[in-house]
């Protein structure tokens, strides 16, 4: 669910050359849209639906379908893929 997706990103740790990167987060629907555009350069995406951190006025989370690029609002109980992002 959406809350679990947020937690997965917050808890994610990536280690490269002995340096730990802990500042990961669930991307907004707009950021996911940009990642979809550049998915070949970024890599690691499938033609699946991914959770975003964006919420509507009713606290339903947006998801983004990487096959067609359309964001949809979803209740929290649906299982979707997660992609953590990191600020530079």
Predicted confidence (pLDDT) per residue in 7-29, tens digit: 999 999 999 999 999 999 999 99
- Identify whether the C-beta of residue 81 lies closer than 8 Å to the C-beta of residue 48: yes
Report helix, strand or coil for 50: strand
DSSP string, 8-38: HHHH--EEETTEEE--EEPPPHHHHHHHHHT
pLDDT at 51: 92
Q: pLDDT digit string (tens) for 55-77?
A: 888 888 899 999 998 888 876 66
């Amino acid at each position: 669910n959406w809350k679990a997706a947020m937690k997965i990103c917050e808890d994610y740790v990536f280690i490269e050359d002995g340096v730990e990167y802990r500042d990961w987060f669930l991307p907004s629907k707009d950021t996911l849209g940009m990642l979809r555009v550049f998915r070949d350069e970024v890599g690691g995406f499938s033609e699946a639906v991914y959770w975003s951190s964006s919420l509507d006025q009713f606290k339903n989370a947006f998801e983004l379908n990487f096959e067609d690029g359309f964001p949809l609002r979803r209740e929290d109980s649906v299982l979707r893929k997660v992609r953590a992002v990191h600020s530079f």
